[in-house]
Amino acid sequence: MQNSKALFSPIREKRTFERVSAKIKRLILDGVLKPGDHLPSEIELARQFDVSRQTLREALRILELTGFITVQKGGSGGPLIQDTLMNSISNLYLDAFQMEKITIEELTVIRCDIEKSMLNHVIDKSVEADFAALEANLIEASRKIEDNQPAIHENIEFHNILAKASKNNVYPVVVGSIAAATRDLLTRLIDETLSEKGLSEYDENMVNTKVAVVSHKAILAAIRKRDKKTAVQLLEQHLHEVGNRLKKLAK
């Protein structure tokens, strides 16, 4: 055994800002605060914790650095709760792609395999509430497109809703992280490629989201009919279209 003095040291009481960050982190981990929720304003949080604004800023800084929140400068509402697990896994995929450890083809193949497996469970176990959530997603995506706004978030969320409809809690984590990585990779490639060519990022995003919504509507129709063969074929075609767009942009 090593010298005990090298292994153990006095335990100090946490500083105030560490206790504040730990409290907020615990609320996030316990599901009291969920991804997408806004914390109260800085002034209101400081008042509720009975700490100075400087102490609160230090606490929020810790949470931001560890990916639990995003502090929006000049935005509406307080700090935004992030999906820490999803973001962490998504970033691992992106880092691996940047380091050329994985390819777009490999990402597309594994996404197809996982989502096709998931879809079989969705068709067996989905209920009317799941259909309603998917319909609401498509309505919102269509509304955005009609307002000339890319429905990027809604298109990713469609796959997340499908994953939840499988009634297996592993699928939302795996499917959500790969879908988020695909979205971030597509966004990065669009930004890099189109700026070099002097083309419009907005136009590319609009085309992509319109195509995705059409595919999603067809997939949902097949799921409602409990038609596994058609639903799986449509999903596979849709995901390969996404993969092909990624490869085209990456050239």
Contact between 186 and 246 under an 8 Å Cβ cutoff? The reply is yes
pLDDT band at residue 229, thresholds of 50, 70 and 90?
Answer: very high
Residue 80 CA to residue 159 CA, distance in Å, equals 22
pTM score: 0.68
Contact between 57 and 43 under an 8 Å Cβ cutoff? The reply is no
Domain range annotation of the chain = 9-81, 84-250
Torsion of CA 49, 54, 55, 61, to 10 degrees: 110
CATH 3.30.1360.120 fits 9-81, yes or no: no
pLDDT band at residue 163, thresholds of 50, 70 and 90?
Answer: very high
Confidence (pLDDT) at 36: 82
Q: Considering all CA atoms of the chain, what is the largest pairwise distance in Å, rounded to the nearest integer?
A: 69
Strand ranges for the chain from DSSP E: 69-70, 80-81
Look up residue 23 and give its two tokens. 């409290």
pLDDT band at residue 210, thresholds of 50, 70 and 90?
Answer: very high
Residue 54 CA to residue 124 CA, distance in Å, equals 53
Confidence (pLDDT) at 30: 82
Instruction: Examine the pLDDT at 13 and tell me if it is beyond 60.
Output: no
CATH number of 84-250: 1.20.120.530
Instruction: Examine the pLDDT at 161 and tell me if it is beyond 90.
Output: yes
Return the bridge partners of 38, or none.
Answer: 80
Place of tokens 């919504």: 213
C-alpha 53: how far from its chain's center?
31
Name the residue with higher pLDDT: 232 or 97: 232
Name the residue with higher pLDDT: 80 or 226: 226
Confidence (pLDDT) at 11: 46
Name, in order, each residue with C-beta under 8 angstroms of 62's C-beta and a sequence gap of 6 or more: 17, 18, 21
100: left (phi over 0), alpha (psi -120 to 50) or beta: left
> 106-127: per-residue pLDDT in tens?
889 999 999 999 999 999 999 9
> 14-59: per-residue pLDDT in tens?
688 888 988 998 888 888 888 888 899 889 999 999 999 999 999 9
